Amino acid sequence: MALRVATLGFIALALFAIVFFRLWYLQVLAGDKYLAEANQNRVRDRPIAAPRGDIVDRTGQPIVDSRLANVVQLSPSSLPVAERSAAATWGQSATKLAKRWVATHDAKWRAKHKSAVPPLPPYPLARPDVARRFTSIGRVLHMRPTTIQKDVIRSLATLPYAAITLRIDVPRTLLDFLEERKRWYPGIVPDTLFLRHYPDGQLAAQLLGNVGQVSPDQLKEARFRGVHQGTVVGKSGIELAYDRYLRGRDGARVLQVDALGNFSRELVRQRRNPSPGRTVKLTLDLGLQRAGQDALQRGILAAEANGHPARAGAFVAMNPASGEILAMGSAPSFDPTIFTKPISQKHFAELNSQASGAPLFNRAMQGTYPTGSTFKPFTALAAMQSGKAAPDTSFDDQGCVKIGEIDRCNAGHTPNGVVNMVSALRVSSDVYFYEMGLRLNSPHTEIIQDMARNLGLGRYTGIDVPGELKGNIPDWKWRQHVGQLEAACRKKRHIPLSDTIYQAVAGGCGISDMRPWSEGDNVNLAVGQGDVQATPLQMATAYSAIVMNGRVPRPHVGLEIDDSNGNLIQRITPPAQRRVHLDPVARQTVLEGLHEAASAPGGTSTPVWSGGSTPWDQNRLPVFGKTGTAQTFDHGFEYDQSWYVCWVKDQANPKDPGLVIAVTVEKGGFGAEAAAPAARWIASKYFHVKPEFVVGTSKTR
């Protein structure tokens, strides 16, 4: 018996010892750890957004910087679970509607209707208690409760854990009012945010791009690894291309909360300050950029004065040796500050609509057009380099030539007499280059196409800004491909293959007339017409390759990464340039023709450069340029698109490679009427010459 009592006593003592030592461990050895965990349960980190780095031009002048704005936000965690569940359900319905809409509206239709967007499901009504909260805060913010509900639902559906911004740029007095009455407005957080600021307004808006809260799709990308919901990141343009440098490191305010999660006070000593982003220095010259935008607008107005319905265009000014973009612009433009605040779906659709000129569309690198006669130098190089023609190859240009059953003529049927390669470029003889197209056409042979692609057309230039289009240089394989697409479309939509292309268009197809490649296609290609599609950036790149004897530059706008004090951190080095073999005689012949086109009697742009109160000094600053007038169609009507591409070189500065300029004005008329005068205006700024806008008289295509 005594043994049993002793055993039980020993067991009880052992258990007591275990409990004692466990309590001692928790309170003494691990006390600090659990105290910290308890503190964590009553503190919350609220991110402090880091200011994005500035974007400056090559001389350090600011193009984009940041400013501090007062904002009122709503914490998602303060909302009932039912509200968040309703938002998630709404988001799922919106996704299903969008998928259904995309399935019934193909890419071709969406391309024609850029402002069209998928419909949204009805917004769920707020619960009575939530509606009362929204009504209360709405009175203070001068917002309708229904508007707040829509903003909340949209935000929760896309970024469920990010703070919901209700109002931006509110007065400081309003923030103080809310701060003093925070218990009256649960979940409301008065705060400050850094917003992008654009000192020059619309200048280079499409190129710079915009920012916004990181999207769910972006969070899946490698470049946004480690980014949390609600972070402001680049969405397009330079802001997206150099986001990893521009985006700083967020800090945090450490807030103490009560048992219900309501804000009590800030633990100031524990605050982690944000680190601002780096400064990105661009190759752009702000003065030249302003001159380019001004020149383009003058070109549009000049076209309108000549009776053309012009309203849009683009320009590129590039260093032909390095590929540095000194200026690039697109019109119409927009005020990028609209993206610093929530933008309605209606307003966003307007910025993409044709009715407003689609100002978000960067025509300099996304606008693909037939190039007209600015393409002729490529045809000339292809003809001479392939041995199909020589510099002295001559034709008697009578104004028209019959090819097959079709008479193909110069603009106005104007005869040019006997012309060779140089004089054909000078007067822009269509008949001469129709003949070249005929000579260079043969089954499965792509002489012109190979030259154009080698120089940079029909392919991506590789510019360090996302979104460029590669255009099209048509050939027999391409025509075969689009014919197959058309046949598949007709089969899907039950359109007979025997129907005309007009009937197919009415039925939702019309991709191609399904005919094989013909000599007429090659003739059109030779003069930059037909199915040729190129951007102003590609044309500037291709002309630069000719100028630099076959070195194809890699266009780029990034120059270097600096710290906030302007000290160099990293130079941005573009990839190596491609090399293209150009026959020296062929190249020199083309350059001679381009120079005569801008300086000799009869040159299509000579009056632009020789006119005005002070004629251009062709001895010191020789111009090598080509006009182009491309035939385009819009809603069944034919229009002329004005083109001009040129190279200007300062003879007094042999180390300076000069400047290549490409300008186009949609529906702007002849090349000498709008685009060429704009190019002279841009060149004047670069070479410090008195600017004059001189409208040319040439009526050639």
Supply the CATH classification number for the domain 46-277. 3.90.1310.10
State mean pLDDT over 191-214: 91
In the chain, ranges of CATH 3.90.1310.10 domains: 46-277
pLDDT tens track for 117-137: 788 889 988 888 888 888 988
- The residue among 543, 552, 529 whose CA lies nearest residue 628 is 529
How many helices (H) and strands (E) the chain has is answered by 25, 23
Q: What is the DSSP string of 118-171?
A: ---PPPPPPPHHHHHHHHHHHHHHT--HHHHHHHHHHHHHH-TTS-EEEEES--
pLDDT band, residue 214 (cuts 50/70/90): confident
What pLDDT score does 544 carry? 98
- Which range among 219-233, 329-343, 445-459, 531-545 shows the weakest confidence by mean pLDDT? 219-233
3-state class percentages of the chain: helix first, strand second, coil last, to nearest 5:
40, 20, 40
In the chain, ranges of CATH 3.40.710.10 domains: 286-475+517-686
pLDDT band, residue 571 (cuts 50/70/90): very high
Which residues neighbour 345 within 8 Å (Cβ) at sequence distance 6 or greater? 117, 120
The enclosing H or E element of 320 equals: none
Which residues neighbour 199 within 8 Å (Cβ) at sequence distance 6 or greater? 62, 63, 65
pLDDT tens track for 41-63: 566 666 777 889 999 999 999 99
Q: How far is 360 from 501, CA to CA, in rounded Å? A: 32
E strands present in 460-572 = 551-552, 558-562, 568-571
Which DSSP state fits 534?
B
Cα 177 to the center of its chain, rounded Å: 42
For the entire predicted model, the pTM comes to 0.87
Q: Which CATH architecture has domain 286-475+517-686?
A: 3-Layer(aba) Sandwich (3.40)
